[in-house]
Amino acid sequence: MVTNTIQRKRKPKSLKEKRQKEHVLLYKILYSLIIMLVYMIGRNIPLYGIDLKAYEDVSVDAQSILLQALSGDMKNCSLFILGLWPYMIASILAVLLVAIISLDSSRKISPRKLNIWTLFFMMVIAFIQAYQKVQTFVYKDMDAQMLLITKVIVFIQLIAGMLIVVYMCDRTTKYGIGGRMSVFMINIVDGMMNMFAGQKADRLILPVIIGVVEIAIMIIIETTEKRIAVQRVSINNIYADKNYLAYKLNPVGAMPLMFTSAVFMLPQFVCSGLYYLYPDNQKLAWLVDNLRLTAVFGIIVYLAIIVLLTILFSVIMLTPGKEAENLLKSGDSILDIYAGKPTRRYLVGTVIRFSIYSSIIICICQGVPLFLQFGGYIDSTLAMLPCSIMMSTGIWISLYREAEVYRNMDRYHPFI
């Protein structure tokens, strides 16, 4: 009887010891590393029947580095060549669809429907892009019948590879750290290594200096925030004056930079497809040649997309209008501003203003090294180096913040 009582008393202690041994952060890091290893292996698996010798001499420039950030494949012929591009474009289209539907307060869209629309858009885009890739690949010598079979196999491989990448990112989001950011980080680091390869030290000085400056700028805009004092009717004590809404100077972090790479490829993809159908059209030929980061027109389009996506993501993800509505429903208010429409205008204006500021800063940081390649100040093979450094800094900050959350979970887990 006494022994059973002692054993029952020991059970809570053993449970506590078990909880103390759980390390959420460590598990998530290990899971992410395994996914990253699988992804790196898949990037080096060539597609069936492709003539790899035709892709040996690939020039490294700003455009090829941008492509590698999406597909992770400099030679453009691996299993994971489609990468996350179809999924990212589909996500933007789905978000826009939700934003349009949300304009009518009586209509709502469930997360399940949103996932269905995203999957539908993704598969349509992936099928079109895979078909285009299949038609432009250089294949080994074979007869017509075998060539047709090879193209079908390659098409299936492209779709399967894309689905594997999306699945791995989904699993990483759920069980690891970073989600699709970890895939981007691998591609960006690999791209920087390709840029450094074979370069003389004197050529690296200016790009590296610009990159270091951009690291400092990215840290500043990621850590600077505006605190808007809020009067809470439910709080009436010494902490009442410490309530506020916080908005970062860079409201949505590195997300616009990642999605800009995908959106910038969309007009290229459309123009290339139209040019394939109408090869004699001179305007399409000009667009195909100039919608690149090695042309002034392409750089301007790229920077314009950064501004638009930064504003769009800031308004959609931070939802200042809904925040103003929640304040009104709870009876709270911003100091010296009336509740309702004045609060809504103030919050929306603050978010848009901050997103414009941050997008202009990012455009200057991204545009300067890209334009310097035309004057010969920066080698064309290194023009994307400062941009890649800035993008990787933003991703590292996001990964650090996510890891910090799980580290705090580990710290307080025994008390939960």
Give the start-to-end residue ranges of the domains of the chain.
23-197, 198-390
Residue found by looking up tokens 């580290």 in the block: 407
What pLDDT is attached to residue 166?
92
Q: How many CA atoms lie within 13 A of 292 on its CB side?
A: 16
Phi, psi dihedral angles at 5 (to 5 degrees) = -65, -40
- CATH homologous superfamily, domain 23-197: SecY subunit domain (1.10.3370.10)
What pLDDT is attached to residue 151?
92
> What's the whole-model pTM score?
0.83
Fill in the DSSP letter of residue 47: P
The DSSP annotation for 160-174 comes to HHHHHHHHHHHHHHH
> Could you give the percent of the chain with pLDDT greater than 70?
88
Which token pair is 384? Answer: 């994307």
Is the pLDDT higher at 323 or at 356?
356
Q: Which of 61, 59, 60 is nearest to 293 (CA)?
A: 61
**pLDDT band at residue 140 using 50, 70 and 90 as cut-offs:** confident
Q: Is the pLDDT of residue 297 over 80?
A: yes
Fill in the DSSP letter of residue 338: -
What pLDDT is attached to residue 265?
85
**pLDDT band at residue 73 using 50, 70 and 90 as cut-offs:** low
Which token pair is 401? Answer: 């913040």
Question: Which residues are paired to 139 by β-bridges?
Answer: 50
- How big is the CA angle at 158 (ends 157 and 162), to the nearest 5 degrees? 115
Helix, strand, coil percentages for the chain (3-state, nearest 5)? 75, 5, 20
Dist CA 204 CA 212 (whole Å):
12
What pLDDT is attached to residue 2?
45
Q: Is the pLDDT of residue 153 over 90?
A: yes
Average pLDDT (78-90) is 87
Cα–Cα separations (whole angstroms), residue 224 to 1, 253, 316, 320 = 63, 12, 21, 19
What pLDDT is attached to residue 416?
57
23-197 and 198-390 in the same fold: yes
Choose from 100-109, 191-200, 392-401 the range with maximum mean pLDDT.
392-401
Cα–Cα separations (whole angstroms), residue 115 to 98, 138, 270 = 11, 35, 25
The per-residue pLDDT for range 162-190, each reduced to its tens digit, is: 999 999 988 998 888 888 888 888 888 88
Q: Which CATH architecture has domain 198-390?
A: Orthogonal Bundle (1.10)
- State the Cα torsion 198-204-208-211 to the nearest 10°: -80
